[in-house]
Amino acid sequence: MSNFDALRAPAAHATVSLDSLRRSGKRHARLKGRQSDELSVQEVRALIGVRPEGGHRRDLLIEHLHRLNDHYRGLHDRHLVALAQEMNLPMAEVYEVASFYHHFEILREGQSAPALTVRVCEGLSCEMQGARTLLEKLPAVLGAEVRVIAAPCIGRCEQAPAALVAQQAVPWASLESIAQVCGGGVPLTPALSPEGRGSNSGPGSARARGGNSGPDSTQGKGGHAGPLDLLPLPLGEGRGEGPVVDFAQYQAQGGYALARRIVSGELAAEDVIGALEDSGLRGLGGAGFPAGRKWRIVREQAAPRLMAVNIDEGEPGTFKDRTYLERDPHRFLEGMLIAAHVVGTEACYIYLRDEYHDCRALLQAELAKLQADPPFALPRIELRRGAGAYICGEESAMIESIEGKRGEPRMRPPYIAQVGLFGRPTLEHNFETLYWVRDIVERGPQWFTGFGANGRRGLRSFSVSGRVRHPGVKLAPAGITLRQLVADRCGGMADGHELYAYLPGGASGGILPASMADIALDFDTLQPYGCFIGSAAVIVLSQHDRARDAALNMMRFFEHESCGQCTPCRVGTAKAAQLMAQPVWDADTLRDLSEVMVDASICGLGQAAPNPLRSVLAHFPHEVGAQA
């Protein structure tokens, strides 16, 4: 028989039983990809708990990653596999979230975590005070087992140079103080700080917060806030060195009485919104949207409504929210609860940046006291922890992070007031905006508008750092000028320094020369000069500094912090940093690049990143060999 015939011949069929098919199926049915091992699953369960009947909440992914990262000093890939299994999530989804945030350290099989990590802030204020020298010398001092890395601004610019040893803040850091903390010692406290540094003024003192006469002694005029001048503030962060107003003290001072009146209906919600509108209070996180109008917009949306509070405070040069929080947390919480009731939100989510470890411990403790003895029925309150991503200061990126996702900004519309957290209408506010609610409603909007200078109205909290004698948070009338702020609130320039330039609004607010130090500092006053006030983070430069170096520091920060979602920002910041590092700037290319970034970036990071370089080209062309 030929091969062809053999092919045509009927084949013999073996008899296959149903049981043999089942056995064969079991042998070959294997899940693809890496599978979790029992030890890793048990270790994950020990930290996040056993799986609830309905499964773990998807939005708690980042919180669970923090538990693992804290306990094991990193995220072992075997734990990520087990976590994905326990949360019933694709491994790719867990990995993409873990790899997005700077504070999560992913460890491959066989890798071990460093015994200790020291993060030295390389923000502009810290760089001006010697952070680069610390980064160069610390590895030799601390040894190979301690990892030393540069970190973007950690929100302690008035204590520059600052560092974090694990989660322990080290203000006014030196080789000796960091080594001391690494060895288990206590960091330098403001009471023991170098002469002059412990005298920073800040909010929250008894005189500033308590029985002052408000605007009466100042008539709301001029460049002074009178009795609202702030007393020296030790930054104890709840460790006992500083006068933190706790729950009992706050209630003894009349705290939560206003909120009780509103919840009981004694004071109408419409009257509260009206007071905010009449005061002119605007969002104090940077955008400046009118607070009363925002409450009204969200209140008109269909229920259920939610609330999200932004305390990410990642803008370099900004530390006002941290300063207020570590002094008077319940003033903020009462403002938040008033907003929640007036707008009708069923839950409040507080998003706090990861660098503020002591603030987080303080807030957790005070929230526990409030919830154990509530002055009225409280909405659900959840405290969420950031993970080292500046972009999460953008409201929609923060919403994504609260939902347990990568902190990437959303395309708008729809706006989060309409479709926000978990798809619900969401009232989003910065910490400080809510901090002022009680004072404005209790004292009346005229109290707030009674302050002001140079034709402006209200109060502003300026985070001042750099070459001034007394950096810190300075509460001053809106419209004060930089020259007045430095002279009247900061004790003048530091010894040996003369005013050369200043950043009026943090990293993205631009740079102005000393010749423009008499411009009113407030919303809408700086735009004609290519700048904006943003979160009122003021960094002062002297004749020993160069504006081009400040601009390059900021652009490298934006390059590091870009979420990478859109090309104009991701590529534009990197290319701009390369061009700005050259001795002579290619001004035409930088201008073209800036225009593309402003016009085509998805969110404010890419749109505002070119502001410092544009300022240098406009006001300091002599530094870069360019024509103005």
Using one digit for the tens of pLDDT, what is the confidence trace for 619-628? 999 999 977 6
Cα distance between residue 19 and residue 388, in whole Å: 56
For the chain, domains (ranges, CATH) are 4-107 (no CATH), 116-183 (3.40.30.10), 247-443 (3.40.50.11540), 450-545 (3.10.20.600), 548-624 (1.20.1440.230)
Cα distance between residue 273 and residue 268, in whole Å: 9
Mean pLDDT score of the chain: 89
> What is the DSSP secondary structure assignment for residue 171, as one 8-state letter?
T
pLDDT of residue 190: 43
Cα distance between residue 553 and residue 547, in whole Å: 10
Cα distance between residue 1 and residue 7, in whole Å: 10
At residue 617 the predicted structure's pLDDT band, cuts being 50, 70 and 90, is very high
Using one digit for the tens of pLDDT, what is the confidence trace for 394-451? 999 999 999 999 999 999 999 999 999 999 999 999 999 999 999 999 999 999 999 9
| Whether the predicted pLDDT of 23 surpasses 70 | no
Tokens at 599, concatenated: 């016009």
At residue 222 the predicted structure's pLDDT band, cuts being 50, 70 and 90, is very low
Confirm if 204 and 328 have CB atoms less than 8 A apart.
Answer: yes
Using one digit for the tens of pLDDT, what is the confidence trace for 548-564? 999 999 999 999 999 99
Question: Residue 513: phi, psi to the nearest 5?
Answer: -80, 165
Cα distance between residue 554 and residue 559, in whole Å: 9
pLDDT of residue 624: 96
CA quadruple 493, 499, 503, 507: dihedral sign: negative
At residue 217 the predicted structure's pLDDT band, cuts being 50, 70 and 90, is very low
Q: Which residues, including other chains, have CB under 8 Å from residue 181's CB and lie 6 or more apart?
A: 165, 168, 170, 187
**Closest-CA residue to 276 (of 445, 438, 478):** 445
4 versus 145: the higher-pLDDT residue is 145
Cα distance between residue 516 and residue 521, in whole Å: 11
Using one digit for the tens of pLDDT, what is the confidence trace for 504-551? 999 999 999 999 999 999 999 999 999 999 999 999 999 999 999 999
Indicate the burial class of 250 (C-beta count within 10 angstroms; 0-12, 13-18, 19 or more): buried
> What is the DSSP secondary structure assignment for residue 509, as one 8-state letter?
S
| Whether the predicted pLDDT of 5 surpasses 60 | no
**In whole angstroms, how large is the CA radius of gyration of the chain?**
27
Cα distance between residue 18 and residue 40, in whole Å: 37
pLDDT of residue 28: 53
Which one-letter amino acid corresponds to residue 404?
G
pLDDT of residue 202: 36
Cα distance between residue 336 and residue 303, in whole Å: 18
- Counting every residue written for the chain, the total comes to 628
What b/e string do you get for 535-556 counting C-beta neighbours within 10 Å, with b at 16 or more? bbbbbbbbeebbbbbbbbbbbb
| Whether the predicted pLDDT of 490 surpasses 90 | yes
| Whether the predicted pLDDT of 347 surpasses 70 | yes
247 versus 218: the higher-pLDDT residue is 247
pLDDT of residue 576: 97
| Whether the predicted pLDDT of 303 surpasses 90 | yes
Tell me which residue has tokens 């694709």.
90
Cα distance between residue 195 and residue 509, in whole Å: 31
Which one-letter amino acid corresponds to residue 133?
T
| Whether the predicted pLDDT of 219 surpasses 50 | no
Cα distance between residue 575 and residue 596, in whole Å: 12
Mean pLDDT, residues 58-64 taken together: 98
pTM for this one? 0.88
Using one digit for the tens of pLDDT, what is the confidence trace for 319-338? 999 999 999 999 999 999 99
Tell me which residue has tokens 């030890």.
39
207 versus 586: the higher-pLDDT residue is 586
Mean pLDDT, residues 255-282 taken together: 97
| Whether the predicted pLDDT of 4 surpasses 90 | no
